[in-house]
Amino acid sequence: MTQQHAEPFGRLSPHDAKSRVDAGDLTVVDVREQWEYARDHIPGATLVPLGQIISRPQDVIVGDNLLFVCEVGQRSGVAAELAAALGKTSVFNLEGGMQAWRNAGLATEA
C-alpha cells in the first residue's frame, strides 16, 4: 500500500472558486500564456505566466489567499505548490482549470 502525501494546497471546484472570489476571499492568478489569457480569463484575474513563477517565485507570488488557474489545472498545480513552498498558507488550485470553469457556464472576459 502506497502512502498518499497530502498536497500543500487546496482544490476548488469552479462554483466554489467563484463564490470565494465573489466574496473577496481569493485573488485569482492566471498562470497561462499571454495569448491564452487574451482569449478568455476569469474576470479580475491577474496574469502571471508559470515561467515567471518558476524563475522568480518570491518576486511574483505576493500576498496570500491565492487561487491559481490554468487551462486544465496542471500548470496551476505547480504554481500552487511553489506558493505553498514559499510559506503561503491559503493557496488553491482551480480543479479542471478554465475548461471546467467554461463548462460550468461561468463568466469569462477577454
pLDDT along the chain (110 residues), means of 10: 71 97 96 98 97 95 95 97 95 98 97
How far apart are alpha carbons 25 and 28 in whole angstroms? Answer: 10
* List of domains in the chain: 10-103 (3.40.250.10)
Which pLDDT does position 39 carry in this prediction?
A: 97
pLDDT at residue 88, rounded to an integer: 95
Query: Any catalytic annotation for residue 70?
Result: yes
> Per the structure block, which three cell numbers stand in for 8?
500543500
pLDDT, residue 49, reads 98
Strands 10-12, 27-30: pairing kind: unpaired
Cα angle, residue 61 at apex, residues 76 and 5 outer, rounded to 5° = 50
pLDDT of residue 5: 60
- Looking at residue 6, its pLDDT comes to 76
- What is the pTM assigned to this prediction? 0.93
| CA-wise closest residue to 12 among 51, 67, 55, 61 | 67
Which residues, at least 6 apart from 41, have a Cβ–Cβ distance to it below 8 Å?
30, 32, 47, 69, 98, 108, 109, 110
- Of 17, 45, 70, 91, the active-site residue reads 70
Q: What is the pLDDT of residue 2?
A: 53
